[in-house]
Structure 1
């Protein structure tokens, strides 16, 4: 069994005493080297969870633990060494005049020796496929390239968990696909815990597990295939299922048997090919 890395224990939060609760008695656990997607419509509480994990906010009720450390005003700086965040707009995270300056910034703040910084710089830029852009000015990069640099900057400080809060929301479909491939590659090579916050179920496919938020509460939790099987219920809470899942339903309605809930086009095509070979 993997070690617990993040634990929410009956956490509730609201933005002011007279405001409604944004989170209501939420409890869940995330383990080392796990990729978990937290999904939900706007206002469901998913981004608040990310801010609570990083100590940008503190709960009014309940407890949060990151690597056995309770998140509070006294531990927040230690917690932030373990938790790196990538936001929607990478321009808000750039501080350097070149890509390598930006990636080095966090390492310099932590006082890493120059030799270690240079080694990590090469390592993380290679991990996100940006090694050829070291001396490029960030504003000259595409949206997807900027997000890769933002991910590299977080990787360079060696956090135990990386949170991507709607990190693909401002990208076109091609850019989204590139970032999701980058994330999958990083998670495999670096053995880091990944937490992706999104309202796009297409981004959930590669995750190990998904937590669905609705109205500040955990609505469902399970592997992506299990979550996608709840199509009608997902639509009722404002989430649209991936196209391939809808296509599988159309095929079933036409009496074409699809044996499993497909996660991608390849799985659906393989299923149909097996069916064809039997007829």
Structure 2
């Protein structure tokens, strides 16, 4: 069985003693080489979890372990070497005059030798398909290209975990698809664990597991197919259902016996073709 990389153990958090709890008694594990999507309605605690994982916040109660080490003020710099975070707006992460300067920034802060830095810039930009833009000024890039560079900058510090906090929310559908395809390809090559905090159901169905948050608590943790079987319950807590699942229900009501819960159009077409071939 894979090793636990992130452990939340009875974690609660609030921003001040007078404010309500944003998270209450949250527990879950994330393993090496695993893709976990965290979903929930606005205010459910998703982004707070991201900030806790990266040590931008600390628990009020409970504890968080990253690769076996507790997240606290003494361990924070070691923790941040292991967790790379990409935010919603890539412009907030750019500090370099060119793409390669930006990718180099995090490594310079960590004292990476110049010869190794040059190699990492080349390999990470190649990994995200941005090597040809290494001398380009960031403001000349498209939204999707900026996010690729932001991901390259995080990968250059060799993290154990890549955390995308609504990192595709500002992109058009084509840009979102390209970024997630890039990240999916990197998982197999880099040995990364991936956490995506998202509202995009296309991303959710690609994950190995899904953590559903509701009002600061863990509502469910399971595989995407099992999560989306609970359509009525998900709607009650303010979450959407993949269109293909809604379409499958409509087809069942019309008399077609679709047995499984399709997660994408390809699976639904495969089921329909199987039914057609038996007629």
TM-score, normalization: structure 2?
0.98
Aligned to 2:234: 234
Aligned to 1:33: 33
1:11 aligns with 2:7: no
Return the alpha-carbon distance in structure 1 between the equivalents of residues 215 and 252 of structure 2. 32
Return the alpha-carbon distance in structure 1 between the equivalents of residues 245 and 126 of structure 2. 34
Stretches of 4+ aligned residues off by more than 2 angstroms: 199-202
TM-score, normalization: structure 1?
0.98
Return the alpha-carbon distance in structure 2 between the equivalents of residues 179 and 259 of structure 1. 32
* Equivalent position SS for 1:27: strand
1:69 aligns with 2:74: no
Give 1:199 shift: 2.3
Unaligned runs of 5+ in 1: none
Return the alpha-carbon distance in structure 1 between the equivalents of residues 131 and 257 of structure 2. 47
1:222 aligns with 2:222: yes
Aligned to 2:152: 152
User: Does structure 2 conserve the Cα–Cα contact (< 8 Å) formed by 1:201 and 1:239?
Assistant: no
Unaligned runs of 5+ in 2: none
* Equivalent position SS for 1:148: helix
CA RMSD, 1 decimal = 0.8
Aligned to 2:78: 78
Aligned to 1:196: 196
Give a deviation string over 1:93-145, Cα, whole Å, max 9, x none.
00001111100111111111122111111111111111111111111111111
Give a deviation string over 1:179-210, Cα, whole Å, max 9, x none.
11111111121110100011222211111100
Give a deviation string over 1:148-205, Cα, whole Å, max 9, x none.
1100000000000011001011111111111111111111211101000112222111
What is the count of residue pairs matched by the alignment?
Answer: 279
Return the alpha-carbon distance in structure 2 between the equivalents of residues 278 and 126 of structure 1. 47
